[in-house]
Each structure stands twice: as C-alpha cells, then as structure tokens.
Chains A and B, each alone.
Chain A
Amino acid sequence: MIKESTLKIFTITITLFLTIFIISLVACILTHTNQHILLSSIASREIQFAIKLSLFTSFISTLMCIMVSIPASYALVRYNFFGKTMINTIVDLPLALPPLVAGVGLLLLFGTTSFGTWLADIGLTFVFTPLGIIIAQFTVNISFMLRIMRSTFEGISPRYEYVAQTLGCTPTQAFLRTTLPMSKNGLLAGGIITWSKGIGEFGAALMVAGATRMKTETLPISLYLNMSCGDLDLAMSAAIILIIISIISLYIFERRGDVVHLY
C-alpha cells in the first residue's frame, strides 16, 4: 500500500485547522446568547431601527453601484480612450484603500469644500446623516461591483452587439437587448456581494456619518456602540443578523458567481 504523502497530510491538516477556526468564531457568537434573549433583542426598538437603516442604506448604495458600474465598466471594456489605463487603476483604488481613509476623504469632501457646502444648500447633507452612510457604502463597494461587471462584459463578445446592430438596433438598443441580459448572472452576483458588503460597512460610514444612536445606527454601528457600553445582548443580536446575511449572500454568490472571476 502506498503511504499517504506528507504533503497531502500537511495541507489537509492546515485546511482543517482553518475551518475549525472559522467555525469557532461563529459558534462563539451564536452560543453567547440564548434564543429568548435574542428574539427580544431583535424586537427592541434600537435593533429594529438598525435593521431598517441597514437594509435601506445598503439597498440604495447597491442600486447606485449598479447604475454607475454598468456604464463605467462597459466603457472600460469596449472603448479605447485617452487615459484608459490610468483610469482603470484609479477606479480600482477604493479596493485597496482602508475604508477609514476613504471615510476621511468623504468627510473632507462633503464637510469642508465648497462642493460639499453647495450640496448641503440644495438639501443633500452627507456629514453625520444616513445619506453619509449611503455614500460611504457606495465609495467602498463601487470598485468591487466595477470589477465584477468588467469581467462579465469582457466575457461577452462584442459581436453579439454587432449582429444586433445589423438587425436594426442602435448601439444602445443592441447593448440593452443582448449584452445586458446576457450579464444577468454577473449583475446578480455583483449586486449580492455589494449589498452584503454594504450592510457590513463600518469604517468609512463611521467617519462620515458618525455613530449616533437611533440616527446613523446601522447593524455594525449598533454592534460597536453596544459592545462599547456593555450591552452584550443587543450587540450579539446585531452580530447574529450580520452572520445570517453573510451566509445567505455567500450561498447565492457561490451559485450565481461561477461566471464571474473576481480576482
């Protein structure tokens, strides 16, 4: 009988340890509370507020990411224009940037420039408001969505649109009737991952919108506030909701994301 190679045993062992490590993290949170306390915490006004605010802000920011990433990634994939290589790098920057830094940038842009003042004058105040949470989520996640849409469009031959054009479509109609519906898996996968990252967004949102109870309190902010003041029950319920959202979105992404090469 051939002995199992050391390499095989070694690598599988490492993988198993990693798995156990991740399961322990989740298990600790899940077992730190009980069902009764959890349900009553979730029913509390504060967590209810946090859930609603999280869902609302992440929904809007995901929508914004989709609306911007579709045209932007299409331009970057299909057209050649001046400065394209540089632009490609710049729009990827938020991926590498620490969210806190992005948040500081947003705070300065909206809080100190005349552009920010002008926006505030027309009623769009970003600093210390839920609007700030939305723009923070958008900033941190747009590069993700852009990357997914770029690789989706790259995988679709431009000739589909050429054929559609010879069949009587304008370039816009050709895009809307061929490439766009053909990218629905990429859109769905990208949308889900963006939404789930948006719900979990903390650093940038903290900088721009602050952590004000019942005002800019999303689930991660709620987790942070309640951990800081020792209300573990509320903190755990926020954490558990975040875990559930992560697992669901990961599941959908795995099923739909096979057409997408993220990295």
Chain B
Amino acid sequence: MIRIENVSKDLGEFKLDDVTLHINKGEYFVILGPTGAGKTILIETIAGIYRPNIGRIFLNGIDVTDIPPKDRSISMVYQDYMLFPHLTVEKNIEFGLHNKRISSSETKAKMNEIAELLGVSHLLNRYPGTLSGGEQQRIAIARAVVIEPKVLLLDEPLSALDTRTTERLRDELERIHRLKATTTIHVTHSFEEAFSLGDRIAVMGSGQIIQVGAPDDVFRKPNSKFIADFVGVENLFHGKSVVHDGISKVHTDGIYMVSSTLKSGNVSVSIRPEDILISKNEIDSSARNVFSGTIVEVKNMGPLVRLVVDVGVPFVVALTKLSYEDMELACDTRVYIAFKASSTHLF
C-alpha cells in the first residue's frame, strides 16, 4: 500500500535518515518515538509537504515522490488540530469536499454523515475557537476522513488532550478505523496508544526506524537498548475484560487477572515488574492475582534483578539483588507470583 524506500530528509533541526517502511492496506500502523525523533517530518514527507533528499515513496505501487500533496489523497491530522479559525465547523469539515467535483447536496450529505459519526453535529455552526480540545480534534478527524483518503496520517492526535478525553477519542479512532478501514499511520510518543491501537508498530529514534513489528514483539522483544529504555514497560498483554461487582476480570492468553481499573471489552493490560511479589512458597497475601510458574530467564542488571516467570504467559518480575540471593532463585525454579488488582493497569 505505502512503500517508503530509503527516504532521507534533512531539515536542520529534524531529519530522516534512510527510512524504509512498508505499510499494508487497511493497516493501523503506529510510529512510536520520543520527541525530536523525526516522526512529524516523516509523515509530512509522506503527505508530500517535503520532498525527500534521497529515496522514493510509493502509494499503491505508484511513485508519488514528485506528486504534490493535493493529488496524493492522503489527509493529515495534527496534534494541535489546525482547524481553520475563520471558518465554522461545518465549513471546516467541507473544506476538502469543495476541491472535489461533487454537487453541493452531496457535499452536505457527506459532511452531515461524518459529523454524525464523530458526534459533532450539534457544533456545526460554531467557530473552532469556542470549542474544547476534544471537540476540536473530533472535527479535525472529521475534516480529514470526509474526503475518503487512501491514507490517514495522525500526528500525535491525542497528546494535547486530558486523560479522559484521550481514552474516549482513542476508542473513537479504533471505531472509525473498523468502520472505514482506511490505512492509518498514527504517530505518538505514548506506548499505551501504540500498544492498544497499532496493528504494527515502528519505533523511531533520531531520524531512523529502529524496530518494526507487532506490538507484542516490539514490547516483549526490544531489539535494542534504546527501545528497551524508551518503551520501559514490560508485562503488556491484550485481553478481554468484563466488569462485575466493581472489579474487572480480564482474560488474556489463557489466564485470568483481576483489575481495579474499570474498563470492559478489548483492553490492554500492564503490570510494572516491581509491583509483582515472588516466592517459592504459595503466597498468602491480599493480592488478588496469584499464579504459579517457572523461572525461564534471569537478567542481572546491577542492584535490581529481573526474572522472566512463565505462568502460561511470561511475566517480568523485578526484585533487589539481596532478596534474589536470599531466596536462592535460579532458572527452572518453580515459583509463585502475586500482584494486586490495583497494580493491574487496564487501558
């Protein structure tokens, strides 16, 4: 669908260094990286705002490197919305439709349909300056989606919003993607967004693509210290959650966990390695999540030791070197692990 081949671009402050990516049709592709990694110029280059110094970009097999943005059918949403402040919400959404040869009744119909889809129909006569961040971002998404682009580019679309709005809009992005199946490239520095939304993830640092893969692979098997440090999160799982009696019960890869985060449906789960207790004997604690398994790997990292315990799924457990030695743990030791429902974070 999109093939980016050996693209380099130097803008002084930011740069792309030999970026090669293949993104499949209908895929939700997330580019994850810290600030200054060159994520924004990558998607601006895909959109055609910048011409690469070296390299080619293909869209559906056609070389679009020299095609101007307007003819690429790629639309873009920025972190700070970039709604046109001199136009009403309605005119903002219709902006791209006016460049297409369609009748005004069709324009209105499409505009209304997308406004409905994003729940902004009641705002059509307002000006962007009077709206909340979440509302503005919905409109920016509506404006980008309404022209039915081949590719939708999202540049940190959730980063300027508060936590609650972020979560709601993240679900919305998922829903729109399910509905429209538009190939989407989502740029973010949040591993939560990457993990919960991405079909595949590319991790970027200083203008280069460092690792590409399914979220599970990237987070569980980082191929470099940069990714391990940047991602910094182990014990990530996908699961299905059911809320019952004020607690979430999550089913993931054959094990059940409980969480005090109340969220149902498809969820992502994370547990910090240092929040997990480990013992050779059955653990008698108030913790709601107790599993037994075998230590499959020991990573010595200075004052802290990290163990990988396989209980059906691999859990990373962190403990001090002192307790590690006291407990006489080693590979193949049978152990119990336990963690609280409040340590089980759902997102």
The residues of A with any CB-CB pair to B shorter than 8 Å are 157, 159-160, 162-171, 173, 177-178, 181-182, 184
Interface of B is mostly: loop
B82 touches A166 (CB 8 A): no
CA–CA, A163 and B68, complex, Å: 13
CA–CA, A184 and B143, complex, Å: 24
Which residue of B72, B95, B153 contacts A164 across the interface (Cβ within 8 Å)? B95
Closest Cβ–Cβ distance, residue A78 to chain B (whole Å)? 12
What chain B residues lie within 8 Å of A173 (beta carbons)? 99
Which residue of B72, B84, B86 contacts A166 across the interface (Cβ within 8 Å)? B72
Interface centre among B47, B99, B147, B153 (most CB of A within 10 A): B99
Contact mask for chain B residues 64-82; partner A; CB cutoff 8 A; 1 contact, 0 none: 0000111010111010101
**Residue B85 at the A interface, CB < 8 A?**
yes
Given known pairs A167-B95, A167-B147, the reply for A182 and B70 (CB within 8 Å) is: no
A167 touches B84 (CB 8 A): no
Interface centre among A157, A165, A167, A184 (most CB of B within 10 A): A167
Nearest B residue (CB) for A180? B86
What chain B residues lie within 8 Å of A181 (beta carbons)? 86
A166 touches B99 (CB 8 A): no
Chain B interface, number of residues (Cβ within 8 angstroms): 26
**Residue B17 at the A interface, CB < 8 A?**
no
Interface centre among A157, A162, A166, A178 (most CB of B within 10 A): A166
The 6 closest A-B pairs by CB, nearest first: A168-B99, A167-B96, A165-B69, A166-B76, A168-B70, A181-B86
Closest Cβ–Cβ distance, residue B159 to chain A (whole Å)? 15
Contact mask for chain B residues 42-78; partner A; CB cutoff 8 A; 1 contact, 0 none: 0010011100000000000000000011101011101
A160 touches B84 (CB 8 A): yes
Nearest B residue (CB) for A170? B70
CA–CA, A159 and B156, complex, Å: 14
B49 touches A169 (CB 8 A): no
What chain A residues lie within 8 Å of B68 (beta carbons)? 165, 170-171
The residues of B with any CB-CB pair to A shorter than 8 Å are 44, 47-49, 68-70, 72, 74-76, 78, 80, 82, 84-86, 95-96, 99-100, 143-144, 147, 149, 153
CA–CA, A168 and B144, complex, Å: 11
Could you list 8 further interchain pairs (A-B, Cβ under 8 angstroms) beyond the known A159-B82, A182-B84?
Answer: A162-B47, A162-B76, A163-B76, A165-B69, A166-B48, A166-B75, A168-B70, A182-B86
Nearest B residue (CB) for A162? B49
B78 touches A159 (CB 8 A): yes
CA–CA, A173 and B143, complex, Å: 17
CA–CA, A173 and B71, complex, Å: 14
CA–CA, A34 and B44, complex, Å: 67
Interface centre among A168, A170, A177 (most CB of B within 10 A): A168
